[in-house]
């Protein structure tokens, strides 16, 4: 469970979460402006 591949996969999920948060905010900004 703690292998490098699992860690990399988890890190990519975290990165996608960050990108998804920006997507949510971009859609909010589009409806605001």
Partner 1 sequence: MRRRRRPLLVVLAAAAAGLALPPSAFAHAALLHTSPSASVTVPRAPDRITLTYSEPVEPKFAIVSVTDAGGHQITAGRPTRSPTNADELVQRIGRVPEGWYLVFWRAISVDGHPVRGAFTFAVGPNPGPAPQFVIPSISETAATPVLLVFRWIVFLTMMSAIGLFVLRTITARPLVRTLRGSSLRAIAGAFWVSLALALVSIPLYVYFATAKFSLRSTTDFAGVFPLLRSSAFGRGFLDLELALALFALAAAISLWLDRPDRPVRSVAELLASAGAFAAAAACLLVPGLAGHAAQTSPRGLTVAADWIHLAAGSIWVGGLCGLLVLYRSTAELIRVAALSFVVPRFSNTAFASVNLLIASGIAATLVHVPTLASMWQTSYGKTLTVKIALLVAAGMLASVNLARTKPRLQAAAAHPGRAAGAAVLLRRLVGGEVVFVFGAVFAAALLSSLAPPSKALAKIGKAEARVGPGAFSRHVTKDGYDLDFRVSPNRAALPNSFVVRITKDGKPVRNASVVTRFDMLDMDMQELSYSFPERQPGVYSRSAPALVMVGHWGLQYQITIPGQTPIDVLLVDRAAG
Instruction: Determine, following the binding rule CB under 8 A, whether residue 10 of this chain makes contact with partner 1.
Output: yes
When asked if residue 17 is in the footprint of partner 1 (CB under 8 A), the reply is yes
Q: What is the DSSP string of 14-30?
A: HHHHHHHHHHHHHHHHH
CA dist list (Å): 15 to 6, 8, 10:
14, 10, 9
Interface with partner 1, residue 31, by CB under 8 A: yes
Q: Does 3 bind partner 1 (CB under 8 A)?
A: no
Where along the sequence are the contacts to partner 1 (CB under 8 A)? 4, 7-8, 10-22, 24-25, 27-29, 31-33
């Amino acid at each position: 469970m703690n292998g490098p591949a699992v860690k990399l996969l988890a890190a990519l999920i975290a990165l996608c979460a960050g990108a998804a948060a920006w997507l949510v905010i971009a859609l909010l900004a589009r409806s605001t402006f």
